[in-house]
């Protein structure tokens, strides 16, 4: 008599699950269509966005001068208060247009003030507009200033040599993360709820296949499908819109491995939902309670810095925020997995908490 093989059973279950996934329109939509639509929309925008002047103090800027006080009162300028390291990062990533350095010259020296606008290469056009705005603000303060503006202030634009940070470099990691979260949560919740309701799981118990093989098989099928979408999304972003992969193939592999880990963690939310829901109609409600806040608050479409300060700690604590942050550091800054270990550790902590709840909530029958 041939010995029963759980490995062969797993292979059959994975194949069957993949076939079922590819026949599910919602799975295809969340994994491929939804993120690709946003990538195409934002990718065609290039580096442009609505004009705004977000600036920060340069290290050593004279914050005691009257000119500094005047500039801070101007609604046209949106000042960002960060430390030197964070300011440099924001300048490099395009989160601010420029840093402004104000120096008052020695007594009697002309011009009286010297302003240095330090802008990234990709923001030079906005920096030139900023120079005009600064000059206009200064001349509007006093009619006499118009007569001696050349003696009062000199605005100097300096180019900061950094790599071009395109819109796609921010958007694609966020869309990739959201795709992994949405597909893992919705897919896992619906699949295991339906398997339980249709008594498929109960029938499995009449076979020699072990319970853990059923879960592992579904996880492998879900991961295989999602990793295929990772390849497509990154490939389209890279070849069609110039998405930055700092170290080429090595960067792609780091993103690929991190995607696999995040899928496993996010599936835990799906296991919880499949266990606590009483009907398939309530699955989208519970799933959206997990997915939608993270899509909106975790830096998927725009930086967390735009939110009020009181909510930012909550936003940064969301698992999708850690994944977005890690993806962006890996792709644009060339960080390795070890260099984003803080983000990975936070994701693992979330995984432990989520699966601890999932074990309690999950039902086989």
Residue 58 Rama label (left phi>0; alpha psi -120 to 50; beta): beta
If you count DSSP H runs as helices and E runs as strands, how many of each does the chain have, helices first?
A: 15, 5
> What does the alpha-carbon distance between residue 296 and residue 56 come to, in Å, rounded to a whole number?
26
pLDDT at position 112: 66
pLDDT of residue 261: 95
The 3-state DSSP class for residue 277 equals: coil
Which of 12-26, 153-167, 223-237 tops mean pLDDT? 223-237
| Tens digits of residue pLDDT in 242-282 | 898 989 999 999 999 999 999 999 999 998 998 888 887 88
Distance of CA 332 to the CA centre of its chain: 12
What percent of the chain has a predicted confidence (pLDDT) above 70? 74
For the CA atoms of the chain, what is the radius of gyration? 26
Q: State the pLDDT confidence band at 351, using cuts at 50, 70 and 90.
A: very high
Of residues 67 and 282, more confidently modeled: 282
Please give the pLDDT value at position 343: 95
Looking at mean pLDDT, say which of 179-183, 209-213, 277-281 comes out highest: 179-183
> Across 100-104, 212-216, 236-240, which has the greatest mean pLDDT?
236-240
Q: Which residue has the tokens 């997990």?
A: 290
Most confident of 128-132, 255-259, 295-299: 255-259
Which of 2-11, 184-193, 333-342 is the most confident on average? 333-342
Question: pTM for the complete prediction?
Answer: 0.67
- Tens of pLDDT, residue by residue over 323-346, are 999 999 999 888 899 999 999 999
Provide the phi-psi class of 209: left if phi over 0, else alpha when psi is between -120 and 50, else beta.
Answer: beta
Q: Return the residue matching tokens 């960067």.
A: 251
Element (H, E) at 196: helix 167-197
pLDDT in tens, 35-63: 777 677 666 554 444 445 788 888 878 78
């Amino acid at each position: 008599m041939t010995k029963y093989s759980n490995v062969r059973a797993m292979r059959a279950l994975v194949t069957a699950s993949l076939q079922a996934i590819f026949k599910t329109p919602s799975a295809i939509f969340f994994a491929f269509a939804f993120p690709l639509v946003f990538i195409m929309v934002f990718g065609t925008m290039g580096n442009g966005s609505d004009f705004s002047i977000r600036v920060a103090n340069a290290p050593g800027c004279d914050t005691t001068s009257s000119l500094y006080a005047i500039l801070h009162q101007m609604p046209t300028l949106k000042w960002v208060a960060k430390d030197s390291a964070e300011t440099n990062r924001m300048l490099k990533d395009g989160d601010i247009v420029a840093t402004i350095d104000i120096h008052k010259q020695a007594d009697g020296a002309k011009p009286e003030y010297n302003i240095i606008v330090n802008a990234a290469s990709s923001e030079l056009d906005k920096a030139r507009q900023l120079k005009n705005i600064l000059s206009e603000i200064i001349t509007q303060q006093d009619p006499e200033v118009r007569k001696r503006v050349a003696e009062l202030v000199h605005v100097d634009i300096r180019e900061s040599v950094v790599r071009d940070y395109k819109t796609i470099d921010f958007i694609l990691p966020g869309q990739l993360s959201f795709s992994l979260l949405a597909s893992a949560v919705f897919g896992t919740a619906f699949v295991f709820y339906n398997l339980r309701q249709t008594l498929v799981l109960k029938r499995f118990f009449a076979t020699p296949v072990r319970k853990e093989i059923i879960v592992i098989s579904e996880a492998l099928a879900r991961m295989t499908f999602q990793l295929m979408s990772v390849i497509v999304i990154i490939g389209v972003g890279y070849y069609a819109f110039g998405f930055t992969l700092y170290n080429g193939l090595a960067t792609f592999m780091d993103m690929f491995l991190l995607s696999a880990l995040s899928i496993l963690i996010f599936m835990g939310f799906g296991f919880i939902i499949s266990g606590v829901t009483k009907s398939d109609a309530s699955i989208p409600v519970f799933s959206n309670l997990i997915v939608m806040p993270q899509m909106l608050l975790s830096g998927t479409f725009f930086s967390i810095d735009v939110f009020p300060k009181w909510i930012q700690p909550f936003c940064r604590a969301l698992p999708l925020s850690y994944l977005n942050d890690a993806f962006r550091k890996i792709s644009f800054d060339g960080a390795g997995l070890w260099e984003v270990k803080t983000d990975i550790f936070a994701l693992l902590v979330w995984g432990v908490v989520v699966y601890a709840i999932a074990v309690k909530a999950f039902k086989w029958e």
